Amino acid sequence: MAESSSLCGFLDLRAAAPFLVAAVVFYLLTEQLSYRRKKGPLPGPALVVPFLGSVARLIRDPTAYWDGLAARAKESHLGLSAEYFLGTFVVFIRDAELSHRVLTNVRPDAFHFIGHPFGKKLFGDYNLIYLFGDEHKELRRRIAPNFTPRALSTYAAIQQRVIVAHLRRWLHRSEHDVPFRLRVPCRDMNLETSQTVFVGPYLTAEAREAFARDYHTFNVGVMALPVDLPGFAFRRAKQAVARLVRTLTGCAGESKARMRAGGEPSCLMDYWMQDTVREEDEAAAAGNPPPPHASDEQVGGHVFDFLFAAQDASTSSLCWAVSALAAHPGVLARVRAEVATLWSPDSGEPITAAQAAEMRYTQAVAREVIRLRPPATTVPHIAGEPFALAEGYTVPKGATVFPSLYESSFQGFRDPAAFDPDRFFSEERREDVEFRRNFLAFGAGAHQCVGQRYALNHLVLFIALFASLVEFRRHATEGCDDLVYIPTIAPRDDCAVYLKQRCAELPSF
């Protein structure tokens, strides 16, 4: 009886096998034809690996992968190239004007900004980048008080205290004959800066340690395959995000209570909650529902967005700034001279907002660092509807497009591959005005980075303090400044330098 059942099962499988093979062949053929139809005139692979596409190449060598897409797009008269990975058709955009078109057409019937190919799963529900129209405008209106001159001045003092404290640790840990790799220490410094600036007194020392562990777990997940199953890095990252948002939700509640009691703002969350609690109280008194985007959990989710935006992008910029200054001693000398005319370590006071505003050359250096090495090299969007992007090519609905902020930076500007802060400093050249549409490091349109002034201030203050307080020399090796993605771009050697204290004593404030 058992033998008869086994035989029947085997015969059933043999009978079904041709249909299974036909179904697989039909799927593979349909996939290839669909890819070819969407690709149209764009340069790209003639055939693609089923479902996976080029994901193996992307994981193995991200730098070579993106360079290859850019090279194909450059050869095309459209400034575009096609790719395919994980079942998704991809359009890479090299041309600056076409990138501008995508960034300024984020709306339900055009492009949806996603930040990460699987970001909606990873970042949670309360995320600024997924909003459109009036809802998006309302949230940005609520965020605006976080970046007023008064708020930025408050943050500047905090930023400098953290920067100097970490410089002291770096100098203590470094040895004159052993190169000191800056990327991870810069990341740790930026995490402490973000925690202190954004949520200030509401994180205990224990919470900060847990926060740092969870943020590291999240970062690993950003670069991992999106396998949402137990034991995989992507699932661990999702769980870490949930814990981080819960922590920030509690901080929002504490900040509201302190602002209601008449406390002075001491961090970003306080500046945000100052107006929020007033609107909440007015709504409650009038019997109206609370204002949108004002619950503790929503605020916690949005502050996590700020942390993600500030953390690795800033780490990238600080490393590239040190690398550029080490490679250009004339630029470094000009920065040191300008800072010395406005501020001295012996003053015992941090650099004021007014002094930082007068450091025009140092600001030009910061902008040139960001132009030459924009931390987020691409910003993925999904086409919500077919979109006529260029003459002769319409992006199909559901395609993921990658406007390249990095490639835009090398278009228009004179001698674009050169590190030349004078392009942003010289009154005669004014390249920042002439080619402003190609300076896309902070995006464009309605979703342009809301915290760009904070990010630039942080880079300017770091450059001013690092150049003034530290003697440094790059540990130059072949390929040390090649780009690696982790997830933003960084020097391949993690920016290895030799450090030595430059002034008699580091300031204390």
Residue positions in the annotated binding site for heme?
A: 449
Residues annotated in a binding site: 449
Give CA–CA dist 251/203, Å, rounded.
7
Using DSSP bridges, classify how beta strands 393-395 and 387-390 pair: parallel, antiparallel or unpaired: antiparallel
- In DSSP notation, 130-181 reads G--HHHHHHHHHHHGGGGSHHHHHHHHHHHHHHHHHHHHHHHHH-BTTB-EE
Residues 6+ apart with CB under 8 A from 96: 407, 408, 411, 412, 437, 438, 440
Q: Provide the 10 A C-beta neighbour count for residue 452.
A: 15
Q: Which helix (H) or strand (E) holds 355?
A: helix 353-358
Token pair for 69: 């897409």
Q: Provide the 10 A C-beta neighbour count for residue 412.
A: 16
Tell me phi and psi for residue 251, to 5 degrees. -65, -40
Q: Which helix (H) or strand (E) holds 393?
A: strand 393-395
> What b/e string do you get for 346-370 counting C-beta neighbours within 10 Å, with b at 16 or more?
eeeebbebebbeebebbbbbbbbbb
Residue 501's beta-bridge partner residues? 470
Q: Are 429 and 411 in contact (CB under 8 A)?
A: no
Token pair for 229: 């199953």
